[in-house]
Amino acid sequence: MSSSHIKRLMMPRSWPLPRKSNIWVQKPDPCGHSMDKCMPMAIILRDVIGIAHSRREAKKILQTRNVCVDGQIETGAGRGVGLMDVLTVGDQHFRGVLDKNGKLRYNEISAKAAGSKTCRVSGKTTIKGGITQLHLHDGRNLLFDENPEYKSGDSVVISLPDQKITAHHKFEEGATAYLIGGSHIGEVATVRSHEIKRSSKANEVQFDEFGTISDYAFIIGDAKDIPLEVKA
């Protein structure tokens, strides 16, 4: 079997697929998401959303050029679609989220919600010419002539598909956080304090009833931004 596949027993725990139905499962093509935060397009269409009944049918759907990710037409069966990505199939729109069991779900959203996406700032660097490059959680990079106010851990809302920043959510007391790791994964909570460690230890964030490391907190504007419930 080629390197484009892995054994199902070794696939990420976040994939909502049976482990013993087949030996192999396709890996997502390299993208900005880690493998445990995304799934290949064909598997999503066939096994998660259920629009296709087979991999062959999923490929035919992709060939119609009616499938988009973040507003861009996608035809690759292995294209990784991950956390907070917007998947559009015809007139239907879905957003990738992690549920309270830590499983990736692609829940239906409105056409209005599909016009934007919240991205976590993972860092920023200065490149040649004094240009500031902002790194986002999905592998996206945005360039600025001047050093913007955005900091690691903050989130920005970008419009799709033109990638213009329309809102900024700071990682601060009172911010709304969506948990993407730990024992409270999939929950939405309000930040009460944010402690930055001056050592190799992970930064910590405290909520009303629990605390966790900062890497697990994905700042959002409102709990409604996360479609945790599947539409009937």
**Could you report the per-residue pLDDT of 143-199, keeping only the tens digit for each?**
999 889 999 999 999 999 999 999 999 999 999 999 999 999 999 999 999 998 888
- 178: tokens are 């969506």
Q: Predicted confidence band at 228 (pLDDT cuts at 50, 70, 90)?
A: confident
Location of structure tokens 């930064």? 203
Give me the pLDDT at residue 149, please: 93
- Judge if pTM exceeds 0.85: yes
* Sign of the dihedral through C-alpha 72, 77, 78, 81: positive
User: Of residues 16 and 1, which shows the higher confidence score?
Assistant: 16
How far is Cα 182 from Cα 122, in angstroms, rounded to an integer?
18
How far is Cα 97 from Cα 104, in angstroms, rounded to an integer?
6
How far is Cα 91 from Cα 50, in angstroms, rounded to an integer?
15
DSSP alpha helices (H): ranges in the chain?
41-43, 55-63
Location of structure tokens 């499983």? 103
